[in-house]
């Protein structure tokens, strides 16, 4: 085989990264790309064949669980072991950091690729789509001073520290953040951001996975945006309450992917009604 090199992906590589995610129709905006590098500056890698950029892959670590994402090889260079080499590098990076579990959302049809790297299937990861609706605002707006409590709530509910990611999403879109409280204590929160074509909803986390809290959060976010916009939300299929809730709210099922894991299985919390995104868990 020609000379394959796995190299660091820097901010200079963003146009290449964006071209690759556009090629796959993954709706990743320039803001999303910048945020990804800001959150995990050493998380992206690229593959070069004889000096030419031919592939990308990334990982995001929360210590007890890491996520592999953005694994793409240019179509004309597929089937040469490049995807495998990049994922093996991401696995090695996660293991060097002592991470016991690595997860990912596999695009349908590529489960075999990840199985050959040792991953096992866990459950279906749904993309749900909805049109806007004039729902009333029943949850509170999140203020910057609430973020400390929200990050602590998320850590307790989810079991890992996702604080830096939540803060980055909130800072990019402060007016799409809502929470619920009981006796002044946070019982749930939701964040949204501008995606390509649709507003991306997530994360949405509710104490005990409570249906009614989730309902308040999702309807408030949709109602605050305006009926002319459309929405996308990534829902773990293993969470039956979350699936029932979005269906009750009129969301339609979009393309599903498959959640897979490697290592000790990290049990995802029932409190998570919507994941942040396929690349951030
Ligand atoms: C998935 C992808 C990155 C694989 O890259 P690649 O360089 O073609 O993969 P490799 O050549 O390293 O293949 C590694 C192994 O997986 C197998 N494999 C590759 N694609 C497969 C598929 N769709 N189903 C089953 N096995 C597959 C190969 O046969 C190979 O097995 P071997 O090592 O026993 O020979 C590439 O097909 C791609 O860019 N797809 C589009 C983007 C995408 O959907 N990525 C997945 C995101 S979750």
Determine the Cα–Cα distance for residues 234 and 125; give it in Å rounded to an integer: 7
Ligand 1 atom 25, closest CA: 112
Q: Is the minimum distance from the CB of 24 to ligand 1 under 6 angstroms?
A: yes
Residue range 228-233: mean pLDDT, rounded: 96
Q: What burial letters (b/e) apply to 128-152, b meaning 16+ CB within 10 Å? A: bbbeeeebeeebbebeeebbebbbe
Q: Is the minimum distance from the CB of 113 to ligand 1 under 6 angstroms?
A: yes
| Residue range(s) of every CATH 3.40.630.30 domain in the chain | 4-99, 128-274
Reply yes or no on whether the pLDDT at 265 is more than 80.
Answer: yes
Question: What pLDDT, on the 0 to 100 scale, is given for residue 255?
Answer: 87
Question: What pLDDT, on the 0 to 100 scale, is given for residue 1?
Answer: 56
4-99: CATH topology is: Aminopeptidase (3.40.630)
Q: Is the minimum distance from the CB of 110 to ligand 1 under 6 angstroms?
A: yes
Substitution site in 74, 87, 113, 258 for ligand 1 pocket (most atoms within 8 Å of beta carbon): 113
Residue range 29-49: mean pLDDT, rounded: 95
Q: Is the minimum distance from the CB of 278 to ligand 1 under 6 angstroms?
A: no
Assign 196 a pLDDT band (cuts: 50, 70, 90). Answer: confident
pTM over 0.75: yes
Do 81 and 1 meet the contact criterion of CB atoms below 8 Å apart?
A: yes
In CATH terms, the superfamily for domain 128-274 is: Gcn5-related N-acetyltransferase (GNAT) (3.40.630.30)
């Amino acid at each position: 085989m020609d000379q394959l090199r796995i190299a660091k992906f820097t901010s200079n590589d963003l146009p290449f990264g964006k071209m690759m995610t556009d090629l796959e129709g993954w709706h990743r905006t320039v803001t999303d790309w910048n945020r990804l590098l800001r959150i995990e500056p050493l998380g992206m890698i690229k593959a070069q064949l004889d000096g030419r950029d031919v592939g990308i892959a990334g990982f995001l670590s929360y210590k007890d669980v890491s996520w592999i994402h953005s694994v793409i090889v240019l179509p004309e260079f597929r089937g040469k072991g490049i995807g495998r080499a990049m994922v093996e590098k991401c696995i090695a990076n996660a293991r060097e950091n002592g991470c016991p579990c690595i997860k990912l959302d596999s695009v349908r049809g590529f489960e075999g690729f990840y199985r050959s790297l040792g991953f096992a299937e866990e459950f279906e990861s749904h993309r749900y789509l909805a049109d806007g609706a004039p729902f009333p605002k029943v949850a509170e707006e999140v203020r910057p001073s609430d973020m400390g409590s929200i990050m602590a709530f998320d850590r307790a509910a989810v079991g890992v520290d996702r604080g830096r990611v939540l803060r980055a999403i909130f800072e990019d879109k402060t007016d799409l953040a809502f929470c619920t409280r009981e006796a002044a204590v946070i019982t749930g929160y939701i964040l949204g951001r501008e995606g390509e074509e649709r507003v991306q909803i997530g994360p949405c986390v509710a104490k005990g996975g409570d249906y009614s809290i989730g309902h308040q959060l999702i309807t408030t976010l949709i109602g605050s945006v305006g009926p002319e916009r459309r929405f996308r939300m990534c829902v773990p299929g293993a969470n039956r309450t979350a699936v029932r809730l979005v269906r009750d709210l009129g969301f339609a099922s979009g393309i599903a992917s498959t959640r897979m894991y490697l290592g000790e299985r990290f049990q995802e919390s029932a409190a998570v009604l919507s994941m942040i995104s396929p690349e951030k868990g």
